[in-house]
């Protein structure tokens, strides 16, 4: 039995629409000309935060990031697409998995550059944890 279709799916971005799609710009580079990992991480946090705010129906804050490994560099001009999925939810917390994919400005192939799981907590107006409303 071959697991080729499953492996092929790993080489393709998720079938959902990206939460954020942006272009890597020269101001986002390190001295070697690659995009800073911190810039990419901040874009991923924005994508996760967007989903967290919708789920929490209000303010939510990042409290942890797990498992980020940079697989490939992002270059100036690359289109970066960020996909976010809810992995789990507690009373006031959410675990959101984010994948970052790059596409050369002039190409068609998308390549996964990193992924990580972000944990958010829903907050009230005073900045205290609050329950996430029922769907």
pLDDT tens per residue, range 43-86: 999 999 999 999 999 999 999 999 899 999 999 999 999 999 99
Residue 33's pLDDT is: 82
Q: How confident is the model at residue 110 (pLDDT cuts 50, 70, 90)?
A: very high
β-bridge pairing 93-103 and 60-66: unpaired
Q: In angstroms, what CA-CA distances link 79 with 24, 29, 30, 43?
A: 6, 14, 18, 12
Q: What is the DSSP letter of 15?
A: S
CATH of 14-122, one of 3.40.50.300, 3.10.129.10, 3.30.70.2660, 3.40.630.10: 3.10.129.10
The Cα–Cα gap between 36 and 69 comes to 13
Q: What is the DSSP letter of 26?
A: G
Does residue 37 or residue 32 have the better pLDDT?
37
The residue extents of the domains of the chain are 14-122
Q: What is the mean pLDDT of residues 91-95?
A: 98
Residue 47's pLDDT is: 98
Q: What percent of the chain has pLDDT over 70?
A: 93
Contact 114, 69 (CB under 8 A): yes
CA contacts within 13 A on the Cβ side of 15: 1
With 90 as the cut, is the pLDDT of residue 9 above it?
no
Which phi-psi region, left, alpha or beta, contains residue 32 (left: φ > 0; alpha: ψ -120 to 50)? alpha
């Amino acid at each position: 039995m071959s697991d080729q279709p499953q492996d092929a799916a790993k080489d393709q971005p998720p079938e959902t629409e990206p939460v954020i799609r942006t272009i890597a710009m020269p101001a986002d580079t390190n001295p070697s000309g690659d995009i800073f990992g911190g810039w990419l991480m901040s874009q991923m946090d924005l994508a996760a935060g967007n989903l967290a705010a919708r789920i929490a129906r209000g303010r939510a804050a990042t409290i942890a990031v797990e498992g980020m490994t940079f697989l490939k560099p992002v270059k100036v001009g690359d289109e970066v697409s960020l996909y976010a999925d809810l992995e789990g939810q507690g009373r006031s917390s959410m675990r959101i998995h984010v994948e970052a994919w790059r596409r050369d400005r002039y190409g068609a192939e998308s390549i996964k550059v990193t992924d990580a799981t972000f944990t958010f907590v829903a907050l009230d107006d005073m900045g205290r944890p609050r329950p996430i409303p029922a769907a």
